[in-house]
Structure 1
Amino acid sequence: MRVENSFIPVEGVGETTERRLWEQGITHWEEFYPDAVGETTGRRIESFIDRASDRLRAGDADFFAREFPSAEQWRLFETFRENACFFDIETTGLDERRNEVTTVSARLGDETTTLVQGRDLHDDALRDLFADADLLVTFNGKRFDVPFLEANFDVSLSDTPHLDLMYPCRRLDLTGGLKTIEGEIGIDRDRPDISGREAVQLWHQYERGDESALETLISYNREDVENLEPLTERVNERLERSVLPETATLR
């Protein structure tokens, strides 16, 4: 589902009205006609489509992140996936005021980059890493990854549109950690699971001179990131099926 298939950002349009439009075959902005709804709602929808079409041509993901309800942010992904940045961090603990970031991995397009504390993980590198992102995609990143990075580095991510997969997963009754949900949804991993505690231990082993421990930690961090894209795709497919009438076909 793309943003052009959605009417729910419009004032006065809830799930019921949007579904009724879809059932009438109005599954795209270009298919809308005012008589499909009441006069006031029709004017609001037309006004929204005019504004949103301009912002879509401009590639303005910020506009849609503001306009769409928080529970519907998943609908931004297909539209802005070309510049979606999937990312994940590893740390020495859970408190951003007391603990440190050890590695940051981010995937944009076909390239995954990993920054390591003491090597190339610094303010400028982080800004460069996220500079081209229209949409951030994480799992529990709103509560953990973003606050951790902003507390430890001179970087601002809170204003970038952010799809935190933990919340749409909950909507689908997919609960637990990232690895648990991957297993439930059918996404395989190439290496054995590593717990958060083991990730911290690997970092401390590296600090004591074990380079292979760092290699393992980086591999684990990168696999977390690289699995976020297929997870996003499958979650979106399930959510689309859950909201779209069986008779409706998107274009």
Structure 2
Amino acid sequence: MRIENSFIPVEGVGEATERRLWLEGITTWESFDPRVDVDGVGPTTAGRIESFISEALARLDDGDSAYFDRAFPSGERWRLYENFREETCFFDIETTGLDERRDRVTTVSFHSDGETTTLVAGEDLTAERLREQFADASLLATFNGARFDVPFLETSFGIDVDTPHLDLMYPCKRIGLSGGLKPIEAQIGIERDRPDISGRDAVRLWREYERGDDDALDTLVSYNREDAVNLRSLADVVCESLHENVFVGEVSGK
């Protein structure tokens, strides 16, 4: 589903009204006709829709993902993904614990435009390098990053992560996928090279590296990189499923 299929950012247009527009064949901004009689869309709402479309088209041409992040309800942020897929930065962090004020970020992996980069504490994991990784992204994608990864990085490095953010944990729940990232991957057929490694192992591996075991760091980095890479596959599956449920099913009258 693309942003251009959406009318829900418009004041006065809720999910029910948006569905009625779709069922009348108004499935894109281009197909909107204020003369078409749609229940719940009077002259005032029609005018708002036209104004929104006019501004949104310009914002989309400019690649202004922040505008749509503000315009869409938080639960509908997944609708930005198809438009900004190629400019999405998938990232995941590993830490020595769960307390952002006491524990340390050990590695951060980023997957964007087919390439994966990992920053390691004590080597190249700095505020400046983090900002560089986020700078070119139109959209960030994580799993439970809104509650964990982002605040951990902001507190640990004194940075503001203000790029629009799709936390995949919430759209996963919407389609009935619950639990942690690894069990969800297994449910939808995403395989791992090292399925035996867990977040607890990531802490152990870092401690072993601190004691001089370079192989432990290699394993930790491989695990962290796989987390970031697999987020793209997860986003593809989840957003396609929501597209089928929210848009295709409604348009076809199912």
Superposition TM-score, scaled by structure 1 size: 0.96
| Equivalent in the alignment of 2:141 | 137
| Equivalent in the alignment of 2:212 | 209
SS at match of 1:173: coil
Q: Does 1:38 align with 2:42?
A: yes
Provide the C-alpha distance between the structure 1 equivalents of 2:227 and 2:248, rounded to a whole number of angstroms.
33
Q: Are 1:22 and 1:245, in contact at CA under 8 Å, matched by a contact in 2?
A: no
| Equivalent in the alignment of 2:56 | 52
SS at match of 1:142: coil
The runs of 5 or more residues in structure 1 that have no matched partner are none
| Equivalent in the alignment of 1:13 | 13
Deviation, 1:245, is 4.6
SS at match of 1:21: helix
| Equivalent in the alignment of 1:78 | 82
| Equivalent in the alignment of 1:223 | 226
Cα deviations by residue, 1:168-205 (Å, 9 ceiling, x for unpaired): 11111211000111111221112223221111000000
The residue type paired with residue 27 of structure 1 is: T
Q: Are 1:19 and 1:245, in contact at CA under 8 Å, matched by a contact in 2?
A: no
State the number of aligned residues. 248
Map 1:47-196 onto structure 2 (within 5 A): 47-157=51-161, 159-196=162-199
Q: Percent identity?
A: 65
Provide the C-alpha distance between the structure 2 equivalents of 1:137 and 1:245, rounded to a whole number of angstroms.
24
Provide the C-alpha distance between the structure 1 equivalents of 2:131 and 2:191, rounded to a whole number of angstroms.
31
Deviation, 1:153, is 0.6
Deviation, 1:167, is 0.6
Cα deviations by residue, 1:131-159 (Å, 9 ceiling, x for unpaired): 101111000001000000011113210x2
Provide the C-alpha distance between the structure 2 equivalents of 1:228 and 1:25, rounded to a whole number of angstroms.
34
SS at match of 1:34: coil
Provide the C-alpha distance between the structure 1 equivalents of 2:8 and 2:206, rounded to a whole number of angstroms.
46
The residue type paired with residue 237 of structure 1 is: E
SS at match of 1:121: coil
Q: CA RMSD in A?
A: 1.2
The runs of 5 or more residues in structure 2 that have no matched partner are none
The residue type paired with residue 179 of structure 1 is: K
SS at match of 2:193: coil
